[in-house]
Amino acid sequence: MTELVGVGPWQGEWPDEDHYDPELLRDGDRRNVTDQYRYWTLEAIVADLDLRRHPFHVAIENWQHDFNIGSIVRTANAFAVAEVHIIGKKRWNRRGAMVTDRYQHVRHHETVEVFTGWCRDAGLTVLGIDNVDDSVPIETASLPTDCVLVFGQEGPGLSDEARAACEQTLSIAQFGSTRSINAGAAAAIAMHTWIRQHAL
């Protein structure tokens, strides 16, 4: 038998605060949310997250519909990243996001130039994450507080234009035979590096 996740209908007298959703109180809350947000409306959860999102951003190039974007959005939500930026094609496969895209701000930019202009206006340092010739190890780098970590696509990696726009490119140490790890896995490691340096 498959065990249901979440909680069933609210037991006892209903709370009357605005952040509670009457339908969830009545039917139960089976969403993949932390216990603190059980029975809360989507809007109330987003508003609460907005009060305590971290100041770093992440971006991924999407010229060929990269399948990692969903997992990057999910990880960004888990780490309360300010925003996820998608550079290139607007459409992306939401399956891997497991609905977290509803709680995460995702912004689209048509070109690298538009994206870097936006970062400049926002005062963010643009850092590439890739294992290219001039990369420095992320393990010993100090990440700025206000920054955006930019990931490349499966296959080509960071485009030349994106690399040129990055103040620095950081690599994740590898020890096996594969040239690279999956972009979603690399994004999780890089985001957690920022968290270890600034949020814990």
Residue among 70 and 152 whose Cβ is closer to ligand SAM: 152
Written as one string, the DSSP assignment of the chain is -PPPPSB-SPPSSPP--TTB-HHHHHH-B-SS--GGGTTB-HHHHHHHHHTS--S-EEEEEESS--TTHHHHHHHHHHTT-S-EEEEE-S----GGGTTGGGTS-EEEESSHHHHHHHHHHHTPEEEEE---TT-EEGGGPPPPSSEEEEE-BTTTBS-HHHHHH-SEEEE----SSSS---HHHHHHHHHHHHHHHHT-
Shortest Cβ 82–ligand SAM spacing (Å): 19
Q: Is 143 in the site for ligand SAM (CB under 6 A)?
A: no
Examine residue 149 and tell whether it contacts ligand SAM (CB under 6 A).
no
Q: By CB under 6 A, is residue 141 in contact with ligand SAM?
A: no
| Among 130, 147, 148, 165, contact with ligand SAM (rule: CB under 6 A) | 130
The yes or no reply on residue 180 touching ligand SAM (CB under 6 A) is yes
One of 157, 165, 191, 193 touching ligand SAM (CB under 6 A): 157
Q: Does 104 bind ligand SAM (CB under 6 A)?
A: no
Determine, following the binding rule CB under 6 A, whether residue 188 of this chain makes contact with ligand SAM: no
Which residues contact ligand SAM by CB under 6 A? 129-132, 151-154, 157-158, 171-172, 174, 179-181, 183, 186
